[in-house]
Amino acid sequence: MSTAFDVNALARLFVEARAHCAQLDSLPTALRPGHPDEACATQDATLRALDAAIGGWKVGAKSVDGPIQGAPLPAGGIEHSGARLAMSAFGQAGLELEVAFKLKRRFEPCSGPYGEEDILASIESVHAAIEIVASRFAACPDVDKLWQLADLQNHGALMVGDGVPYDASYPFIAPAMTFEYNGAPLFEGTPANPAGDPRRLLAWTVNHCVSRGHALECGTVLTAGSYTGMAFPKAPGTALGRIEGLPPVELHFA
């Protein structure tokens, strides 16, 4: 990590921006992460500054064989389906419909590495989830990728529906789904996760987490990328996501 980079100062800047729904135009030179390790260190420092436990991880990839990136999610920002949230708390909020997984065991910090079979055997349940994407940068998504990674990968909050037991035969690559806001569709075309089967992201996530010195607790939620792209509702209302074989997930924006 560069000696000029002030990870704690950047974390404080993000926390202040989050608290005041501010959108940053840029970052001071000394607060610009220049390497993924600096961005990940900022994630950890941000959660410390928020005094927040980790309740989940978001993870994604832009292609079926592309690099994977992830960020820890503050436990207080993981909500159950049907919760009512203030739309104004997120600035320009984007909504994504995702498939999330919940773990049934604890992974110790600095343990592993774990193989894909170990991780799949640790999945307790599968859920429909709506991620609220909220950047601290005014120009997002036209912002340096490391800045976005440092900013908890543009995370605002996560709405999680009820789960069903994990079934390896579930059609994770292309489940049928609908995503609506106030009854109007939020996307057109065929839903697809750019990573392909989202389960391919899970072993990376667990190993990445424990290698950073974090535990993955029983009940941790791993949400693994959008099937619908991102939609930007313009007014308060209700988002409803239905994914084949999973209980629906609902978000109320007040």
Does residue 39 fall inside a structural domain? no
Q: Which two tokens stand for residue 35?
A: 């390497």
Domain count, the chain: 1
Does residue 148 fall inside a structural domain? yes
Judge contact between 96 and 229, C-beta under 8 A. yes
Q: What CATH number does the domain containing 194 carry?
A: 3.90.850.10
Phi first, then psi, for residue 22 (nearest 5°) are -85, 155
Interacting residues of 28 by C-beta distance below 8 A, sequence separation 6+: none
Q: What pLDDT score was predicted for residue 153?
A: 95
CB count within 10 Å of CB 87 equals 17
Per-run averaged pLDDT (10 residues), the chain, 254 residues: 80 92 89 94 96 95 93 95 93 94 96 93 98 91 92 96 97 95 93 95 96 94 95 95 97 96
Does residue 154 fall inside a structural domain? yes
Q: Which two tokens stand for residue 7?
A: 């990870």
E-state strands within the chain: 54-61, 68-74, 78-80, 84-85, 94-103, 123-133, 155-165, 177-181, 184-185, 221-226, 237-243, 249-253
* Measured CA distances, 92 to 5, 81, 110, 120, 236 (Å): 29, 21, 37, 35, 12
Judge contact between 166 and 124, C-beta under 8 A. yes
Q: What pLDDT score was predicted for residue 1?
A: 54
CB count within 10 Å of CB 52 equals 16
Does residue 155 fall inside a structural domain? yes
The percent helix, strand, coil of the chain (3-state, each to 5) is: 25, 30, 40
Q: What pLDDT score was predicted for residue 193?
A: 95
Report the distance separating Cα 173 and Cα 199, nearest Å. Answer: 9
Q: What pLDDT score was predicted for residue 3?
A: 59
Range of the domain at 195: 54-253
Report the distance separating Cα 214 and Cα 217, nearest Å. Answer: 9
Q: Whole-prediction pTM value?
A: 0.94
The DSSP bridge pattern shows strands 177-181 and 84-85 to be unpaired
Judge contact between 98 and 224, C-beta under 8 A. yes
